[in-house]
Amino acid sequence: MRSLPTDLSGGQQQRVAIARALVHNPRLIVCDEPTSALDGETGQKVMQLMRRLAVGKDRALIVVTHDARIFEFADQIAQMNDGQITEVADSQEHSNEISKRS
């Protein structure tokens, strides 16, 4: 396939960027809204892959997102307000707190 980046959809561009970042097996992966241009199913697959890569020894994955659908992949969740971390909880505590609010 010989396409220019401008010929690709937003989701395709995002998947290519993720693949380029992961191909070198980095020890630290930092993502800003990694699923924003992806449909739910593809976003879940991407997060499953990143989670699998991040659980190895000396590996870390940091994700910044507004997408609550990917919170389940977190070990810890830090909530920010006006650029300040206001709360840090493990993912189970965070899920329980969200359930209480609903």
Residue 27 to residue 42: CA distance in whole angstroms: 23
Q: What is the dihedral of CA 41, 43, 48, 51, to 10 degrees?
A: -170
Domain with 46, as residue range(s), is 5-101
Name the phi and psi angles at 67, rounded to 5. Answer: -85, 100
CA proximity to 39, closest of 20, 12, 74:
12
DSSP labels for 55-85?
Answer: TSTT-EEEEE-S-GGGGGG-SEEEEEETTEE
CATH number of the domain within which 27 lies = 3.40.50.300
The total number of structural domains that make up the chain: 1
Q: What is the pLDDT of residues 15-71, one digit of tens each?
A: 888 888 888 888 999 999 988 888 889 889 989 988 888 887 888 999 999 888 888
Q: What is the pTM of this model?
A: 0.73
